Amino acid sequence: MSRPVIGIIGNSYLINDEYPAYAAGQMNCQAIAEATGAIPMIIPTSPGYATSAELMEVCDGFLFTGGRPNVHPEEYGEPETEAHGAFDRARDAVALPLIRACVAKGQPFFGVCRGFQEVNVAMGGSLYPEIRDLPGRMNHRMPPDGTLEEKFELRHVVKFTPNGPFHKILGDVEVMTNTLHGQGIKDPGERVVIDGYAPDGTPEAIYIKDAPGFCLSVQWHPEYCAAQDPVSKPLFAAFGEAARAWKSGARPSVLKSA
């Protein structure tokens, strides 16, 4: 059987501040190719190019990636403020309905950073515009200086619910992760289960209750050195297994009892 195809949700960029492009980080593609064993395919984030149904016919699963623009607060019923930062309404229009369609159908997906936030918003949840401004919260943003290795270094613990899906996949209730985000979950969406927290109470790992397929999301960036990292590798491997099962015609329901 041929390898499954994982659609990687891209972001919009301006090359040299003038040439518009769709792109996804090389480490996202590398994580899919090496840690899931699937074929990475970048999805351009323009709602006019393909419907959710058409994308789901082409791909066996989706990676909802990180990105600098934030989900527009209008998507969760709040007014836009300066703290909400830059937006990408075209990505909102592609990602949010695609997430809901995948949840309903059971098609596997994995959300990362902005993708984690998109999953919560798609399910009716809301976001804080700036976590570091909340009392008692740490600064989860990417360090402004340093090498790539220093920016992606492990910075805090995440604790999971005992016997929850993350505990079952990783074999531990506590792991170390990187952290490179400004926003975070305020109110969890309908059926969104928070399965892991940072020490300051920030939600870091979620899944969708009673979803028929793989639907895990994390607030950190597991795509960094995914094939070698002891936390990232089993998460991507489980995602890859779900995509292969989907491609073969199976409809896994391993998360339904979680």
DSSP 151: H
pLDDT digits (tens, 9 = 90+) for 153-187: 999 999 999 999 999 999 999 999 999 999 999 99
pLDDT digits (tens, 9 = 90+) for 99-126: 999 999 999 999 999 999 999 999 999 9
pLDDT band per the 50, 70, 90 thresholds, residue 68: confident
Does residue 256 have a pLDDT over 50? no
Average pLDDT, the chain: 93
Nearest residue to 70 (alpha-carbon basis) of 158, 141, 157, 170: 141
| CA pair distance 93, 91, nearest whole angstrom | 5
Average pLDDT over residues 199-228: 96
Look up the pTM and report it: 0.94
